């Protein structure tokens, strides 16, 4: 949650040196540093099943804070964090919950790619050749129509078990396809050279963001991934998607009392992340039109 909040502050133009959220950003960065294992480079502990999510997001945020702020003292922390990602990844493939457990996960891998991309941009040392292997794995879990699976071809996005999957049917969105498409851009792929990217974008266009609390279609994670992917696609696909964000996200922001400025955690992962998660993801989504330049 701290990593996501820091990414939102950084995307708004604040840094460790200036901006309206400089103080909060500085406090968050300091706290994350205090959570880092100096031997392994891991942010936080490894006790939770999905701990690698937290580490990847924190690494991404710390790399951005380091680079955008030009704050040299963070270099060592980010290098150690990126080093842990290399240790955790399956040597011949991608990432899953546990270190080198032989399994691969599109969602976890997406956050790790984002962290790697930021680190490489700011000249942080990363393991050579890792991204080529990850590219190959993404192709392996993407079908001929451009849809990307969770851990294998045809597998829908994950969710909490039981009644939760009934309330939030995975087929309502295309989060894994959107994340894969965005990561393809980060990995240097282009639609002109990789026709599957246009197919993926077409699938995303068919499921635009809508704020409907009754049909289980609200998915801030999907909207975040798709917004950054569609911005990179550009043109009509992007403008159609961005227009839908106004109704789905901007008009749904709370404006009352102590909730003012936040978003209700009514999406598929709201029960897990709460209001901070919902708000950070919606802010990051709205920053997609200017956060990164076209690649």
194-238 pLDDT, tens digit each = 999 999 999 999 999 999 999 999 999 999 999 999 999 999 999
Q: What value does the mean pLDDT take over residues 30-57?
A: 97
CA dihedral defined by 64, 271, 241, 5, rounded to 10 degrees?
Answer: -20
Residue 162 has pLDDT above 90, yes or no: no
Residue 147 has pLDDT above 90, yes or no: yes
> Please, are residues 88 and 77 in contact by the beta-carbon 8 Å criterion?
no
The pLDDT value recorded for residue 129 is 86
Taking only the tens place, the pLDDT of each residue in 74-105 is: 999 999 999 999 999 999 899 999 999 999 99
The pLDDT value recorded for residue 294 is 92
Residue 21 has pLDDT above 90, yes or no: yes
Residue 155 has pLDDT above 90, yes or no: yes
Q: What value does the mean pLDDT take over residues 181-190?
A: 97
Length in residues, the chain: 295
> Please, are residues 281 and 172 in contact by the beta-carbon 8 Å criterion?
no
Residues of 77-91 as b/e, b for ≥16 C-beta within 10 angstroms? bbbbbbbbbbebbbe
The pLDDT value recorded for residue 118 is 97
The pLDDT value recorded for residue 42 is 98
Confidence band of 59 (pLDDT split at 50, 70, 90) = very high
Q: How far apart are CA 265 and CA 290, in angstroms?
A: 25
Residue 66 has pLDDT above 90, yes or no: yes
> Please, are residues 28 and 5 in contact by the beta-carbon 8 Å criterion?
yes
Q: What value does the mean pLDDT take over residues 171-180?
A: 96
The pLDDT value recorded for residue 107 is 96
Confidence band of 2 (pLDDT split at 50, 70, 90) = very high
Joined tokens for residue 175: 């989060």
Q: How far apart are CA 193 and CA 181, in angstroms?
A: 13
Residue 158 has pLDDT above 90, yes or no: no
Q: What value does the mean pLDDT take over residues 161-173?
A: 90
Joined tokens for residue 64: 């951005």
Q: Across the chain, what does the average pLDDT equal?
A: 96
Which residues face 36 on adjacent strands?
A: 43
Task: Give residue 201's Cα distance to chain centre.
Answer: 17
Q: What value does the mean pLDDT take over residues 181-195?
A: 97
Whether the CA torsion 187, 193, 196, 202 is positive or negative: it is: positive
Q: How far apart are CA 43 and CA 16, in angstroms?
A: 19
Rounded to two decimals, what is the model's pTM?
Answer: 0.97
Residue 128 has pLDDT above 90, yes or no: no
Can you tell me which residue has the tokens 């969105």?
173
Q: How far apart are CA 21 and CA 68, in angstroms?
A: 14
> Please, are residues 33 and 27 in contact by the beta-carbon 8 Å criterion?
no
| pLDDT above 70 coverage of the chain, percent | 100
The pLDDT value recorded for residue 159 is 82
The pLDDT value recorded for residue 289 is 94
Residue 164 has pLDDT above 90, yes or no: no
């Amino acid at each position: 949650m701290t990593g996501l909040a820091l990414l939102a502050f950084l995307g708004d133009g604040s840094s460790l040196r200036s901006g309206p959220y400089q103080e909060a950003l500085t406090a968050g960065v300091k706290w994350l540093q205090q959570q880092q294992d100096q031997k392994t480079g891991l942010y936080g502990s490894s006790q939770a099943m999905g701990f690698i999510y937290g580490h990847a997001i924190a690494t991404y945020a710390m790399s951005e804070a380091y680079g955008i702020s030009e704050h040299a003292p963070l270099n060592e922390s980010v290098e150690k964090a990126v080093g842990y990602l290399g240790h955790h990844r399956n040597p011949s493939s991608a990432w899953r919950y546990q270190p080198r457990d032989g399994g691969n996960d599109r969602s976890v891998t997406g956050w790790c790619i984002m962290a790697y991309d930021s680190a490489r941009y700011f000249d942080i040392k990363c393991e050579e050749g890792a991204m080529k292997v990850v590219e190959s794995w993404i192709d392996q879990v993407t079908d001929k129509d451009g849809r990307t699976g969770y851990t294998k071809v045809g597998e829908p996005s994950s969710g909490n078990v039981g009644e939760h999957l009934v309330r939030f049917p995975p087929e309502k969105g295309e989060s894994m396809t959107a994340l894969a498409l965005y990561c393809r851009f980060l990995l240097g792929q282009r639609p002109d050279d990789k026709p599957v990217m246009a197919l993926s974008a077409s699938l995303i266009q068919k499921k635009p963001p809508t704020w409907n609390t009754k049909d289980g279609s609200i998915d801030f994670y999907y909207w975040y991934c798709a917004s950054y992917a569609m911005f990179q696609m550009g043109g009509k696909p992007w403008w159609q998607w961005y227009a839908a964000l106004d109704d789905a996200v901007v008009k749904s922001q709370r404006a009352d009392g102590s909730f003012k400025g936040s978003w209700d955690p009514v999406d598929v992962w709201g029960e897990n992340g709460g209001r901070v998660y919902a708000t950070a993801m919606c802010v990051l989504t709205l920053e997609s039109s200017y956060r990164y330049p076209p690649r």
